[in-house]
Amino acid sequence: MRATSLTVGSAALAAALLLTACAGGGDGDGDDGGQDTSACVLDEVGVEVGPANAAPLAGDTGNIPVTVTNQGAECTLDGFPTVGLQADATSATVTEDEAAQAQKLTLAEGTAATFTITYVRGEAGAGGSLDATRVKIGLPGDSATRGFAWSYGPVALGAGGVPDASVGAFQQAGD
């Protein structure tokens, strides 16, 4: 009788350990629980630029939201997006917002993250402005970029000809 009790007890213990090993280790905050997940790549995401809160006049600040939606296998965004502005043969990199802190986000298929491009509008044709016509966007860990029309007016230039603009960190979109 005691051997039967011990066998049932061992089976119950083994089942409990197995269930514990199968339980999800994540805490639901976008962390992948230590598992390796590939970096999101532009070939497997949809990118939507806008609708924007464009700066109406020179000196005003505008905000352009960008949404990245995963259309493939689970992937991660770890770092800041890369953003560049183009005007004819001139291009300039938009710097990271110094006040923002990048966070690692895991995106399941069909989920999205957003970031914001903030800029100060310049005067069209002025020496202290970049008459941008395109914006190029890249993801951390992916060398590819995708270009989009820039219809938000010229961008003021700061010291050293750097655009008076910044790119924010990724934020989980939706719930």
How far is the C-alpha of 146 from the C-alpha of 9, rounded, in Å? 59
Residue 145 pLDDT grade (very low, low, confident, very high; cuts 50, 70, 90): very high
Among 25-29, 67-71, 112-116, 129-133, the least confident range: 25-29
In this prediction, residue 36 carries a pLDDT of: 61
Q: What percent of the chain has pLDDT over 90?
A: 69
- Concatenated DSSP letters for 63-88? EEEEEEEE-SS-EEEESPPEEEEEET
pLDDT digits (tens, 9 = 90+) for 148-160: 999 999 999 998 8
Q: Does domain 42-172 have CATH number 1.10.3470?
A: no
Tokens representing residue 140 in the block? 């951390």
How far is the C-alpha of 33 from the C-alpha of 175, rounded, in Å? 20
**Per-residue pLDDT at 169 exceeds 50:** yes
Residues contacting 156, CB < 8 A, separation 6+ = 58, 59, 119, 120, 121, 122, 128, 129, 163, 164
Say what the pTM is: 0.77
pLDDT digits (tens, 9 = 90+) for 73-121: 999 999 999 999 999 889 999 999 999 999 999 999 999 999 999 999 9
Q: Which residue has the higher pLDDT, 94 or 12?
A: 94
The mean of the pLDDT values for the chain is: 83
How far is the C-alpha of 93 from the C-alpha of 89, rounded, in Å? 14
In this prediction, residue 175 carries a pLDDT of: 59
pLDDT digits (tens, 9 = 90+) for 28-37: 344 444 556 7
**Per-residue pLDDT at 20 exceeds 80:** no
